[in-house]
Amino acid sequence: MSLPDHVRIVEVGPRDGLQNETVTIPTATKLELIHRLADAGLTTVEATAFVSPKWVPQMADHADVLRSIRRRPGVNYPVLTPNMKGFEAAAEAGAEEVAVFGAASETFSNKNINCSIDESLERFRPVIEAASERGIRVRGYVSCVLGCPYEGAIDPTTVARVATALYAMGCYEISLGDTIGTGTPLKAKRMVEAVAGHVPMNAIAAHFHDTYGQALANLYAVMELGVATVDASVAGLGGCPYARGASGNVATEDVVYMLDGMDITSGADLQALAATGRWISAELGREPVSRVARALAAKG
Ligand code: HMG
Ligand code: MG
């Protein structure tokens, strides 16, 4: 299988990137980030999460964020919805796409959304049905696909079982999350092959965190299998509050640099992204994690 000609980037910085920040980020800053990312050519910008503010305080302004987005034509602004309460609030605030998020690890599922894997699937079913009735698209996440902070190694057949269930319930795309970034290329390939036995390749997305510096290598490996949707977070921001030690997703700048260098289109403007990454990192009082962003800044 050859590499894809085009990769769709799902920018998750405003949600995955910011959810773990302990200092409350002003809603206006979140909105500016979302606007800048869309202006940089990204066509999917995950905006926020309609989760419990007791569990993830940083996302408590979800309705304000979603309502206030200056929507750019052709750009999707999906939001996370773990249950019907979150879905109703998201729909009310104008969501056109939502995401349910399960896991391939029982312990992580319990720590993250307070229920077992099977209970989570039953909780997602009415969300997916209600979304379908209202013409709202649903994406499905599976976390811990290459390792769990509590259980260690995860069997690819478990990943395939959860991914298949979400796809069968009506998720249009399944995002496979290496939540703690412990994966390596051959394991990533084997895991995607296991899922692709049940879910079409064009409905599979790679959501790789870069904790151990393996994310680009893992992405390249699964792109060789035909994966053409990649989740990434500007400046490499982020982590999951229920996966201690997990760093951000692979940085969007790093992904775009790699794609540009292989003549694979994504529609994203590297310079605009790097500027956005520097700006949000300054707002958070740190340097961008992205090596590409640092190299571009050093060049001046
Ligand atoms: P629970 O405590 O079992 O929920 O949490 P509950 O139904 O018993 O309700 C408890 C309270 O929360 C009630 O309020 C509800 O109204 C409220 P109270 O009566 O105590 O005042 N509540 C809500 N409020 C707002 N929005 C809602 C909502 N639902 C209930 N949707 C729950 C279950 C799922 C709500 C909770 O565990 C939760 O919010 N978890 C979210 C955790 C999270 O956001 N984690 C990060 C995202 S996942 C991730 O980062 C991984 C990913 O990036 C992929 C990867 O990297 O692998 C996607
Ligand atoms: Mg994530």
CA angle, corner 102, sides to 98 and 104, nearest 5?
A: 150
Please give the pLDDT value at position 88: 98
Burial class (CB in 10 A: 0-12, 13-18, 19+), 3: middle
Closest ligand to 233 CA? 2
- Residue 1's pLDDT is 65
Which residues form the catalytic set? 240
Backbone angles phi, psi at 101, to 5 degrees: -135, 115
Q: Please tell me the residue having the least CA distance from ligand 1 atom 35.
A: 52
Ligand 1: residues with CB < 6 A are: 16, 19, 49-52, 54-56, 82-83, 85-86, 101, 112-114, 141, 143, 177, 179, 207, 240-242
Q: What is the pLDDT of residue 129?
A: 98
Per-residue pLDDT of the chain (300 residues; tens, 9 = 90+): 689 999 999 999 999 999 989 899 999 999 999 999 999 999 999 999 999 999 999 999 999 999 999 999 999 999 999 999 999 999 999 999 999 999 999 999 999 999 999 999 999 999 999 999 999 999 999 999 999 999 999 999 999 999 999 999 999 999 999 999 999 999 999 999 999 999 999 999 999 999 999 999 999 999 999 999 999 999 999 866 676 766 789 999 999 999 999 999 999 999 999 999 999 999 999 888 889 999 999 987
Which atom of ligand 1 is least distant from the CA of 83? 31
Q: 0.85 exceeded by the pTM?
A: yes
What is the spatial distance between Cα 115 and Cα 109, in angstroms, rounded to a whole number?
6
Structure-token pair, residue 107: 């312990």
| Domain residue limits, the chain | 8-299
Per-residue confidence (pLDDT) for residue 244, from 0 to 100: 73
Task: Tell me the ligand closest to 175's alpha carbon.
Answer: 1
Tell me how far the alpha carbon of residue 241 lies from the centroid of ligand 2, in angstroms: 10
Question: Which residue has a Cα nearest atom 36 of ligand 1?
Answer: 113
Note the ligand closest to the C-alpha atom of 20: 1
**Structural fold of domain 8-299:** TIM Barrel (3.20.20)
**pLDDT at residue number 296:** 93
Q: Which two tokens stand for residue 298?
A: 């050093």
Q: Residue 238's pLDDT is what? A: 86
Q: What is the pLDDT of residue 245?
A: 65
Using an 8 Å Cβ cutoff, are 220 and 185 in contact?
yes
**Counting beta carbons within 10 angstroms of the beta carbon of residue 286, is it exposed (0 to 12), middle (13 to 18) or buried (19 or more)?**
exposed
**Phi, psi torsion values for 80, nearest 5 degrees:** -80, 135
Residue 233 CA, ligand 2 centroid: distance in Å? 9
Helices 84-92 & 117-133, crossing angle to 10 degrees? Answer: 30
- Please tell me the residue having the least CA distance from ligand 1 atom 14: 52
At 248 the pLDDT is 86
Residue from 249, 253, 76, 258 nearest 177 by CA: 249
Exposed, middle or buried: residue 64 (CB in 10 Å: 0-12, 13-18, 19+)? middle
Closest ligand 1 atom to residue 209 Cα is: 56
Ligand 1 test: best mutation among 20, 52, 179, most atoms within 8 Å of CB? 52
Q: Say how many Å lie between the CA of residue 117 and the centre of ligand 2.
A: 17
